[in-house]
Amino acid sequence: MSDHPSTTQGTGNHSDETAWDDRASILPAVQDARIPDGGVPLMRGTFAEMIHRLAMLPEEDRAGYVIAKAGDRSYTAEEAMALASRPDFPAQDP
């Protein structure tokens, strides 16, 4: 999921590693759809932290938000919850 281009050839590394520590933010879904580079973030942190935060919302409210991952793309609430169920998803600190 983290296919950052190299500085030599400008091509992606295409690793299968999920960059849980990449910077990310939570945005209202309507802002993400209307503004090319996203909108005003409601919250910022690591990709894993933003997935944890989204998971804390009531299920019926999640669809109103997206996670914009730096250097990647936006993830819907449904995609974020699928990532949260992966065995390699980091546990939340107590």
Q: What is the pLDDT of residues 5-27, one digit of tens each?
A: 445 555 554 445 678 999 999 99
Percentage of the chain beyond pLDDT 70 is 71
Per-residue CA distances from 55 to 6, 13, 24, 59 (Å): 33, 29, 15, 8
Would the pTM of this model clear 0.85, i.e. be above it? no
Is position 50 within any domain? Answer: yes
Residue 13 lies in a domain: no
Is residue 17, in this structure, part of any structural domain at all? no
Residue 30: band (very low, low, confident or very high) from pLDDT cuts 50, 70, 90: confident
Q: What is the pLDDT of residue 38?
A: 57
Q: With a cut of 50, say whether residue 53 has pLDDT above it.
A: yes
Does residue 55 belong to any structural domain of this protein? Answer: yes
Strands 23-28, 74-76: pairing is unpaired
Residue burial 39-57, b: 16+ Cβ < 10 Å; e: rest: bebeeebbbbbbbbbbbee
Domain range holding 32? 23-84
